[in-house]
Structure 1
Amino acid sequence: MQFKDITGHQEVKNHLLNSVKTNRVSHAQLFLGPEGSGSLALAVAYAQYVNCENKKDNDSCGECSSCHKYERLIHPDLHFSYPFYPSKETAVAIDVLQEWRTALQKNPYLGLNYWRDQLDAGNKQANIPIKEVHDIIKKLSLKAFEAEYKVLIMWLPEYLDKEGNALLKLIEEPPAKTLFLLVAENQERILNTIISRTQLVKINKIGHDDMKNYLVDKHQIENSTANEIAFIADGNIQEALNLLAYQEHNSSFTTFVEWMRYIVTDRGSEIMKISDENLSKLGRENQKSFLLYAINMIRQIMLIQQGLRSLVFLKEEELNFVEKFSELYQFEQLTEAINLLEKTHYGIERNGNPKILFLDLSLQLVLLFKYQTFPKGTQYI
């Protein structure tokens, strides 16, 4: 994987390139960035550049033996560790290495739920167990096979728990030419003893324009659709890919309008039917994508209410709906609607019962839009 293949983050790329050019490669680095930001892809591209046999000024050559092996993720001195779902057949990460390589090559912006789906893990809890920690220590105690650096890329060290303390001595005093790259999303969940032994590489979410260009260039979608998805995904390419897949197979706008019509007219039987027969059967990722779409639509309504039409990225049909809806409700009601949608999204992420969650959400929205009042008064349908 080369830097040129990764969307955005030019400042981070320059920092990583300069660390190699000036021979200031820290042996333990923490790539900290939100899901879908490309932090894992940057770590792989950095490792490839470090071991490239014919480095260019701004990237690895992509042609040497080392680069070819890195592109296929099969370099003998490149090791990965990641959360997985231990079982009798799967004791350490290498037991699902082929699945990992396939997933990462297909989607370098992958999130944990995407990785879970590749393993068909059901409701199992992911972690990095103590056997995996011992396997890491064993692998890194060996000499490098052919590269200058042995590299371990650990994705989501948040899942190490206290077992990670067994790695402290190795991280603090590693064998010569050993490079630890930890790729994390939530600093608060990482052991402080590990954070204190690493150099931080902060990675921000991807900007709107970079996201839009990625969707247009890589997925050949229309500019207006790319604008809309980029706005909803808010810097998370994994979420953008989820939304793109959802829109390819579903009419989110039609479903949203039908659902809202039942809610604002308080049609109980139809609400129960659409919650039970439509929304609850979408599948978890599609349910999350639908809720994000709904959140975006409410936000667009709020933008129009505030006179910020230039920030609204919608097709004509959606724009007409948003304009009409913006005249009916107060800003405070819309804000509370977003809070309810976000709570339901969190419940879906936590494997809550979708029938109960969507029915409860619908009924709370009925109360909010039809009966709840605010100090300035409210206009109702």
Structure 2
Amino acid sequence: MENFVVSARKYRPADFKSVVGQQHITTTLQNAIKNNHLAQAFLFCGPRGVGKTTCARILAKTINCENVTNNEACGKCDSCVSFQNNASFNIYELDAASNNSVDDIRNLVDQVRYAPQKGQYKVYIIDEVHMLSTAAFNAFLKTLEEPPKYAIFILATTEKHKIIPTILSRCQIFDFNRIQIKHIAEHLREIAEKEKVDYEDEALRLIATKADGALRDALSIFDLIVTYSAGKKVTYKETIENLNILDYDYYFKVVDALLAEDLSATLLIFDEILKKGFDGHNFIVGLSEHFRDLLVVKDEATVELLQVSESAKERYILQTQKSSVSFLLSALNMANQCDIHYKASKNQRLHVELALMKMAKLPQAFRLATLSNAEAKKKA
């Protein structure tokens, strides 16, 4: 039986052009290699799962490659092969989360004294560097400021604010972005095609949204859904069931009922949602996001902010045509207030129901306000 390799490892980028959503970083690093402007200390900052350690490894591999072509490692020379087999003596990785003492850093500093036996650079990748103790940081300062010409340090962290200023001032800092939903969805599509797994675009987009900008999280979720479907097809229905996400179809139904001033239907839909095991707080947060999306679709200039499939976008456009901006803003404000005070409420179900009742009366309130204004103008 062949060992299963998770997608995050199997499809980990091996060169700069394969890195997803960090072109500003990869272009700068490639230009530094091309022009021989490599700093001796880099600090890679950003959220989890966006490619910090991956870019550090690619940089380490490329600068030691014997046949660099177009600022990319060849992947075939002895240096590249040894790197790919985790047998390179020129690249050291240290996990600062578990090696955060002064002694660990002193051992590292001792290693730096020895020049590489083969290759041009010795690269030290220190992951989760913010976990180092203050004493360890201080022990590292002198070496970081004046390392031997063959030594390059790449520090990676998710919490830049925890790193002392004296370390920051000695590093060239790169800020990694959260990866956009469309880029994650495109990457998942490529992997699904390579793995010969059928998929629905809506399901991949939902996985990308759930990952919250972290590609590694998206790949983990993708593996989970593929396993659940026995590798047959990644469907939207199975994805929402597995991730315990409320189908956006419910939000369309709720807003339709609110616009029709059908209080009974609104409460019955909410009851159905609760019976399916969903939390009232998650529902009201999702409803707030739905109102926001409807407002975004109101203006053609902001439609591109809506990151959903084309079929879903058509539904948003259709529903927003039935809604006034006043209704959407007022309903969004009510949903937001309900969200803020939800945890403090003694009767949380009633708290959400009261908000829905108020929203259902908004169209009537606007009509009365319009009539009142019209009558006032006539008298004037």
Q: TM-score range, shorter-chain basis?
A: 0.5 to 0.7
Q: Distance in 1 between matches of 2:82 and 2:344?
A: 50
For residue 360 of structure 2, what is the aligned residue in structure 1?
A: 379
Q: How does 1:1-381 map to 2 (within 5 A)?
A: 1-85=14-98, 92=99, 128-162=100-134, 163-220=136-193, 221-245=199-223, 247-248=225-226, 249=228, 252-253=240-241, 255-257=244-246, 274=277, 299-304=289-294, 306-307=296-297, 311=306, 313=308, 330-336=331-337, 366-372=349-355, 377-379=358-360
**Letter of the aligned partner of 2:331 in structure 1?**
Q
Q: State the percentage of identical aligned residues.
A: 22
Q: Residue 52 of structure 1 contacts residue 66 of structure 1 at CA under 8 Å; is this kept in 2?
A: yes
Is the CA contact 2:285–2:335 (under 8 Å) kept in the aligned structure 1? no
Q: 1:219 to 1:300 in 2, by over 3 A?
A: farther
Which deviates more, 134-143 or 170-179? 134-143
Q: CA deviation at 1:303?
A: 0.7
- Which amino acid counterpart does residue 216 of structure 2 have in structure 1? Q
In 2, Cα distance between equivalents of 1:274 and 1:19? 53
Deviations 1:53-102 (A, max 9, x none): 000113111111111122233311100112445xxxxxx5xxxxxxxxxx
Contact 1:161 1:191 in 2 (8 A): no
> What is the match of residue 284 of structure 1?
none
Larger Rg: 2
The residue that corresponds to 2:258 in the other structure is none
Number of equivalences: 303
| Partner SS state of residue 378, structure 1 | helix
Please tell me whether the aligned partners of residues 28 and 179 of structure 1 are also in contact (alpha carbons under 8 angstroms): yes
C-alpha distance in structure 1 between counterparts of 2:347 and 2:219, whole Å? 30
Structure 2 residue matching 1:80: 3-state secondary structure: strand
Q: Partners of 1:378 and 1:82 in 2: how far apart?
A: 52
The answer for unaligned runs of 5 or more in structure 2 is 1-13, 194-198, 229-237, 255-265, 362-380
Distance across 2 between alignment mates of 1:242 and 1:20: 33
Letter in 1 for 2:166: T
Q: What is the alpha-carbon distance in structure 1 between the residues aligned to residue 204 and residue 344 of structure 2? A: 29
SS of 2:93 mapped into structure 1: strand
| C-alpha distance in structure 2 between counterparts of 1:307 and 1:364, whole Å | 34
Quote the offset at 1:302 in angstroms.
Answer: 3.0
**Contact 1:264–1:366 at 8 Å: present in 2 too?**
no
> Equivalent residue of 1:210, what SS?
helix
Deviation of the 1:365 alpha carbon:
5.2
Deviation of 1:158 (Å)? 1.2
- Whole-angstrom distance in 2 between the partners of 1:153 and 1:173: 17
Structure 1 vs Structure 2 CA RMSD:
4.3
Q: 2-side partners of 1:144 and 1:340: how far apart? A: 61
Give ranges in structure 1 of 5+ residues lacking alignment.
86-91, 93-127, 280-290, 342-359
Q: Which of structures 1 and 2 has the larger relative contact order (alpha carbons within 8 angstroms, sep 6+)?
A: 1
Per mean C-alpha deviation after superposition, the further-off stretch among 61-70 and 365-374 is 365-374
Q: Is the 8 A contact 1:206 1:235 kept in 2?
A: yes
Distance 1:305-1:13 versus aligned 2 partners, 3 A rule? closer
> Do the aligned partners of residues 257 and 44 (structure 1) sit closer, same or farther apart at CA in structure 2, a change above 3 Å counting?
closer
SS at match of 1:62: coil
Cα distance per residue 1:306-365 (max 9 Å; x no partner): 5357725269799989x79x9999212443566689xxxxxxxxxxxxxxxxxx699775
Alpha-carbon deviation of 1:136? 1.6
Q: Which amino acid aligns with 1:190?
A: I
Residue type of the alignment partner of 2:289: R
Inter-partner Cα distance in structure 1 for 2:143 and 2:179: 33
Q: TM-score, normalised by structure 1?
A: 0.65
Q: Which moved more, 1:10-19 or 1:363-372?
A: 363-372
Superposed CA deviations along residues 172-210 of structure 1, whole A, max 9, x for unmatched, are 111231000111222211121110111112322223332
Q: Is residue 51–residue 66 contact of structure 1 (8 Å, CA) maintained in 2?
A: yes
